[in-house]
Amino acid sequence: MVADSGAASGPKPSSSVKLVLLGEAAVGKSSLVMRFVNNDFQENKEPTIGAAFLTQKCNLPTRTIKFEIWDTAGQERFASLAPMYYRNAQAALVVYDITKAASLTKAQHWVAELQRQASPGIVIALVGNKSDLAASPNNSGSSSSGGSGGALSDASTAGDDGDAASSTAVGDGDDGDEDEEGEGGDARKVATKVAKAYADEEGLLFFETSAKTGLNVAEVFTAIANAIPETSLKGPRGVGGQTHLGGGRQEDAARVNLTGGRDAAGPKEGCAC
Ligand SMILES: Nc1nc2c(ncn2[C@@H]2O[C@H](COP(=O)(O)OP(=O)(O)OP(=O)(O)O)[C@@H](O)[C@H]2O)c(=O)[nH]1
Ligand SMILES: [Mg+2]
């Protein structure tokens, strides 16, 4: 990718970017953040309560981006808190689980809400996580271009488990339990080309990732860092960084779980990009 992880060659401009993760419970939001920030993965990660806040730097060739990451809880009981976290956000990762079609439907609802209510210039990436559970390396090993068109350019690699491509309707509201493995150990229920087509239609970045293996995780954040318009970057405290609590009311802020286990790792130097 375009990120520069080498030694700094002089001071570069540094900007803070407020980024929020949204998506159904258990799709792997916290796991993606943990992979990005700590390069770590937990098989049985506990659900997030409220939200967790973490930071991570990303060194681009011309500037350093400090992501201020709000990892929200996907459980329905926390849904009403979400606006507090996406308010003033410059970027959003809307995550679904490629083994659960209903999670893409939920992701689409989040995208629509962000388009309606978040900052007009927000950069949104649609992320299909758990690609390690797809059988074919073609399905999960997608290359990432990192450009504004998204990471997956070869839609023909998707949906090789028979009728997956046609049966995975976008927005069909199917919320059945779908995480059992299909034939050949392929648990994929969302075809890459279905999600990619939706992302293209809506102008979203698109990646399939695995927090477990690390596939495409740094690439998502690097692509977002590159997609943030220069004009919306305002120095170390950036547009979205007025306050760590996102300008929310105090009683809402108090619900933020800043000490909840490994979700709440402190700021860390270095760049995972
Ligand atoms: N196989 C596989 N499992 C994953 C991956 N990412 C997350 N998981 C597992 O999925 C479960 C849920 O992950 P979390 O990261 O807690 O999901 P979440 O979206 O943060 O969930 P909430 O906080 O409840 O919204 C955990 O048991 C993870 O180990 C992945 O890429 N591959
Ligand atoms: Mg979580």
Q: Partners of 71 in the beta sheet?
A: 21, 52
Work out which ligand 1 atom sits closest to the CA atom of 73: 25
**Residue 111: inside a domain:** yes
**pLDDT reported for residue 147:** 37
**Residue 135: inside a domain:** yes
Ligand 2: centre distance to CA 85 (Å): 14
CB of 148 closer than 6 angstroms to any ligand 1 atom: no
> Looking at the CA of 28, which ligand is closest?
1
Of residues 174 and 22, more confidently modeled:
22
**Residue 267: inside a domain:** no
**Residue 47: inside a domain:** yes
**Pocket residue to mutate for ligand 1, from 34, 36, 41, 45, most atoms within 8 A of Cβ:** 45
**Residue 261: inside a domain:** no
Give the environment of ion ligand 2: residues with CB less than 5 A.
Answer: 29-30, 48
Work out which ligand 1 atom sits closest to the CA atom of 43: 29
In total, how many domains does the chain have?
A: 1
**Using CA positions, which residue lies closest to atom 32 of ligand 1?**
130
- CA dist list (Å): 99 to 61, 132, 190, 210, 218: 36, 10, 6, 12, 22
The pLDDT tens digits of the residues spanning 135-148 come to 865 544 343 333 33
> Looking at the CA of 43, which ligand is closest?
1
Q: How far from chain centre, in Å, is Cα 2?
A: 19
**Using CA positions, which residue lies closest to atom 2 of ligand 1?**
130
**Residue 8: inside a domain:** no
CB of 30 closer than 6 angstroms to any ligand 1 atom: yes
SS3 category, 264: helix
**Residue 255: inside a domain:** no
**pLDDT reported for residue 156:** 36
Judged against a pLDDT cut of 80, whether residue 205 lies above it is answered with yes
Ligand 1: centre distance to CA 26 (Å): 5
**Residues with Cβ < 8 Å from 126, sequence gap 6 or more?**
94, 96, 107, 111, 195, 198, 199, 202, 204, 205, 206, 207
Q: 51-59 and 64-72 as β-strands: parallel, antiparallel, unpaired?
A: antiparallel
Q: Is the pTM of this model over 0.85?
A: no
CB of 49 closer than 6 angstroms to any ligand 1 atom: no
Stretch among 115-124, 131-140, 246-255 having the lowest mean pLDDT: 246-255
The CATH number for 129's domain is 3.40.50.300
82 contacts 106 by C-beta, under 8 angstroms: no
CB of 140 closer than 6 angstroms to any ligand 1 atom: no
**Residue 76: inside a domain:** yes
State the residue range of the domain holding 104. 14-232
96 contacts 125 by C-beta, under 8 angstroms: no
85 contacts 114 by C-beta, under 8 angstroms: no
